[in-house]
């Protein structure tokens, strides 16, 4: 009776008391109908909680029970999974790979800029139109590196390719003289009709001995000329060549600013055309053949 009868139904009041026989009969009938002891909400919660510890914490359980034989549904609280938080140190977006890719792209863009600039320069030079003839050229008197005096009349009957420079030039003059030699090689046998000349704009240092040493590094057919300061400067004047000492700190160590131009002169001593530093050897040969068809093979 004490097991089946809750404490709240126990009372000493005679009008509320239940006979043990009557209560036992009702309880026995209830047990036979259910076939087991009824689960109270407290017992049901404890049972589900004990079973939840053996299952995965990510699963949630919902228990339904008949509370006090009334068939009510009881919601069991869900268990929250324990998440493991891993700390990852921040990494820099700048890596060796990104630096390499950036350098490669920069080099490619710079190469494209230079090639495009050179292409546009060639295009502009090829589209130049010359109207009339420039008042360039005239008589001159100079000295060959062998010591023989020469004048402009000594070269009549041949085409002249003239360049003004100085032997102490570090880079521009050597590159232009190499280009002059390339022009002669491209012309082949027709180059025998052309006399290439180098005229100094620095007669103070370009002595005959200095020019002989300097000429050994370039094409064998290039003739190097010098003279007195008046002779060299007068020749530069008739061809309108600009020249000036860049710095006069030391008498023996200075540079000379000058025009970077090749002059093409006809067999009669008359000026025909000029070629700037941006003009390639192939373009020079093409333009020379256009002015002088006899230079074509």
Q: Is the model's pTM score more than 0.95?
A: no
- How many distinct structural domains can be found in the chain? 1
Q: Is 98 within the bounds of a domain?
A: no
Q: Is 12 within the bounds of a domain?
A: no
pLDDT score at 81: 55
Q: Is 128 within the bounds of a domain?
A: no
Each residue's pLDDT, cut to its tens digit, for the chain (297 residues) gives 455 555 555 544 444 444 444 445 555 555 555 455 554 555 544 555 555 555 444 444 444 444 444 555 555 555 555 555 555 556 667 788 888 888 899 999 988 888 888 777 766 655 655 555 667 888 999 999 989 999 999 999 999 999 999 999 988 999 999 999 999 999 999 999 999 999 999 999 999 999 999 999 999 999 999 999 999 999 999 999 998 887 665 677 888 889 899 999 999 999 999 999 989 999 999 999 999 988 886
pLDDT score at 118: 76
pLDDT score at 158: 92
- CA distances (Å), 282 to each of 37, 122, 195, in order? 112, 11, 18
Q: Is 46 annotated as a binding residue?
A: no
Range of the domain at 240: 141-295
Place of tokens 């970077």: 260
pLDDT score at 224: 96
Q: Is 197 within the bounds of a domain?
A: yes
Q: Residue 9, Cβ neighbours under 10 Å: how many?
A: 11
The token duo for 81 is 């999974």
Tell me if 191 sits within 8 A of 182, measured CB to CB.
no
Q: Is 239 within the bounds of a domain?
A: yes
Query: CA gyration radius for the chain?
Result: 54
Q: Is 15 annotated as a binding residue?
A: no
Q: Is 52 within the bounds of a domain?
A: no
Cβ density class 120-157: b for 16+ within 10 Å, e for less: eeeeeeeeeeeeeeeebbeebbbbbbeeeebebeebee
Q: Is 174 within the bounds of a domain?
A: yes
Q: Is 258 annotated as a binding residue?
A: yes
pLDDT score at 120: 78
In this structure, what CATH number is given to the domain that contains residue 285?
A: 3.40.30.10
Tell me if 136 sits within 8 A of 238, measured CB to CB.
yes
Q: Is 192 within the bounds of a domain?
A: yes
């Amino acid at each position: 009776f004490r097991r089946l009868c809750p404490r709240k139904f126990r009372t000493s009041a005679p009008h509320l008391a239940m006979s043990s026989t009557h209560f036992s009969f009702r309880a026995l009938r209830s047990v036979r109908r259910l076939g087991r002891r009824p689960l109270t909400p407290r017992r049901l919660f404890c049972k589900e909680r004990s079973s939840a510890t053996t299952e995965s914490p990510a699963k949630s359980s919902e228990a339904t029970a008949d509370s006090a034989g009334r068939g009510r549904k009881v919601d069991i609280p869900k268990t929250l999974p324990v998440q493991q938080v891993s700390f990852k140190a921040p990494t820099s977006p700048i890596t060796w790979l990104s630096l390499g890719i950036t350098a490669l792209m920069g080099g490619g863009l710079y190469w494209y800029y230079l090639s495009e600039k050179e292409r546009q320069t060639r295009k502009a030079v090829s589209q130049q139109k010359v109207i009339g003839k420039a008042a360039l050229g005239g008589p001159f008197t100079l000295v060959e590196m062998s010591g023989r005096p020469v004048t402009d009349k000594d070269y009549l009957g041949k085409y002249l390719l003239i360049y003004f420079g100085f032997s102490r030039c570090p880079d521009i003059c050597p590159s232009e003289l190499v280009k002059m030699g390339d022009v002669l090689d491209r012309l082949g046998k027709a180059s025998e009709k052309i006399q290439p000349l180098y005229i100094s704009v620095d007669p103070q240092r370009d002595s005959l001995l200095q020019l002989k040493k300097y000429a050994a590094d370039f094409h064998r057919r290039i003739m190097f000329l010098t003279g007195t300061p008046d002779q060299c400067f007068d020749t530069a004047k008739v061809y309108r060549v600009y020249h000036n000492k860049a710095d006069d700190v030391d008498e023996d160590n200075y540079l000379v600013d000058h025009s970077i131009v090749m002059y093409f002169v006809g067999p009669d001593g008359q000026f025909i055309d000029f070629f700037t530093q941006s003009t390639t050897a192939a373009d020079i040969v093409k333009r020379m053949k256009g002015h002088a068809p006899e230079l074509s093979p």
